[in-house]
Every structure is written in C-alpha cells, then in structure tokens.
Amino acid sequence: MEAVFYLSSLIAITATALAITRLHAVHALLFLIVSLLALAILFFVIGAPFAAALEVIIYAGAIMVLFVFAIMMLNLGKQAMEWERRLLSPRIWVLPAILTLVLFAELAYLIAIRRGGAWSEFEPVLPAEVGALLFGPYLLGVEMAAFLLMAGLVGAYHIGRREKKQLHRYLKEEEQ
C-alpha cells in the first residue's frame, strides 16, 4: 500500500515534468495521460474509487481526446503522413508504455491483495454517498455546473463556426 502510494506519486511527478518539457504536443499528451492514470491509482488507494474512475474516463479519456483532435486538426497538411510515421517509432512511445505498465502492475497488486482482506487504511467513500451528497446539499452546485457545461457547449459551437463571407449587398451572398 505504501509502496503503491509512493510509486504512483513518483510516476505522476516524472510524467508531468516530462510532459511540460516535450517539444511535440502529442508526446506531451502521452506523458500527461500517464500522469493522470497515476493520479487515478492514487485516488483509488486513498479511498476514492469513484473519483478514480472519473479521472480515467473523463480526464484521461474525454478531455485528452479533445486535445488530440485539436492537434490533429491543426496538423492537416502534406507532411501529416510523414509525421504519423515518425510518431509510431518505438523511441517515442516506449517510456510512456513502461510507466503505464508499472501502473498496471500496481493495479494488479492492489486487486490481488484485496482478496486477502483490508488493503488500505482509508475507508473507501462509495459512489452512493457522493451521489446522495450531490443531489442533496449540493443540488444548486450541480445545476450551476450544468449551466456552465451548456454555456461551454454553446460557446464552443459559436466560436468554432465558420463565418459567412459578407459581400456587398447587391452582390450575391456566398457561403464559404
């Protein structure tokens, strides 16, 4: 349990430090995902399984995929194929893969010792309690978060929309 805690912390710090110093955005994203997975293990160890699942699904899944999409959209060009080929060379993915394997070993270890009995000093706070709290005292906060997400959606749509090219009013209006 202690070993898992410290190892995950170490991986999180290493991966984050590597992420902010990479020159290529996709490499940085790879390391950032490793860092998020390490934090998810950490959450799991300190008794927050629901937060750990959300960290993997939403942070490492949805938000990082959004970043990848944006970077891919910025890179549409002739050299895209060449770039893709370089991306697949082992030198780039081998370090994140090793870190992720260590995390996977930690997870397997946690599951293995779970069968024996208690595996953490922390009493896990289960999703049911979180849900009861969210839809009880924090209901207003949940609704405000919903407003925020709606505003984010509308704002992103509005900003990302292609503008109509306005010609003179006597000329024919053209769609771009």
Partner 1 sequence: MTPTFIEQGMLLAAVLFCLGLAGLLIRRNIIFMLLSVEIMLNAAGLAFILGGARWGSADGQAMFIFILAMAAAEVSVGLALILKIFQKYKTLDTDEINRMNG
Binding site for partner 1 (CB under 8 A): 5-6, 9, 12-13, 16-17, 19-20, 25, 28-29, 32, 35-36, 39, 42-43, 46-48, 50-51, 54, 58-59, 62-63, 66-67, 70-71, 73-74, 121-123, 125, 129-130, 132-134, 138, 141, 145, 148-149, 151-153, 155-157, 159-160
CB of 90 to partner 1, least distance (A): 24
Tokens of 8: 């995950």
Between 62 and 171, name the residue whose CB sits nearer to partner 1. 62
Between 88 and 140, name the residue whose CB sits nearer to partner 1. 140
Strand-pairing partners, residue 165, are: 174
Between 128 and 171, name the residue whose CB sits nearer to partner 1. 128
